[in-house]
Every structure is written in C-alpha cells, then in structure tokens.
C-alpha cells in the first residue's frame, strides 16, 4: 500500500514540477515579447495615427 501511495505521490509531484519548470522557462520569453510589443508600433496603429493626423489637419 505504501509503495502505491508513493508512486502516486511521485506522479502528482512530477506533473507539478514540470508545470513550474515550463513556467519559469517561458517567462523570460513572454517578457521580451511584451517589451518588443510595447516599444514598436504596429501597422494598424500607424494607420490609425496617420488617419487621426489627417482628420485633424482637415479641421484646422
């Protein structure tokens, strides 16, 4: 009975440890991706800003 409980416990913990390791490994990649997204302007944002600038120039 103890052996079965020990095996089940190991399986549960290995899944938990795997999840933690994958989170730790992917965290820096997500941070870099978010930083690049914040620092750059997408084509959609550029088009939107250009449209606003054109409408403002027409009003003035």
Q: What is the pLDDT along the chain (60 residues), one digit of tens a residue?
A: 787 877 777 767 776 767 777 888 899 999 999 999 889 888 999 999 999 999 999 987
pLDDT at residue number 22: 81
- Count of domains for the chain: 1
27-29-32 Cα angle (round to 5): 110
Segments in the chain forming alpha helices (H):
2-39, 43-59
Output the pLDDT for position 29.
92
The residue segments making up the domain with residue 24 are: 2-59
Residue reference for tokens 């088009």: 47
Q: Which residue has the tokens 């054109």?
A: 54
The CA distance from 55 to 60, in Å, is 9
What is the model's pLDDT at position 35? 93
* pTM score above 0.85: no
For residue 18, the model assigns a pLDDT of 72
């Amino acid at each position: 009975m103890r052996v079965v409980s020990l095996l089940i416990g190991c399986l549960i913990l290995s899944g938990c440890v795997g999840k933690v390791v994958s989170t730790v490994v992917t965290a820096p990649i997500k941070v870099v991706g978010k930083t690049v997204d914040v620092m750059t302007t997408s084509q959609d944002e550029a088009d939107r800003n250009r449209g606003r600038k054109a409408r403002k120039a027409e009003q003035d």
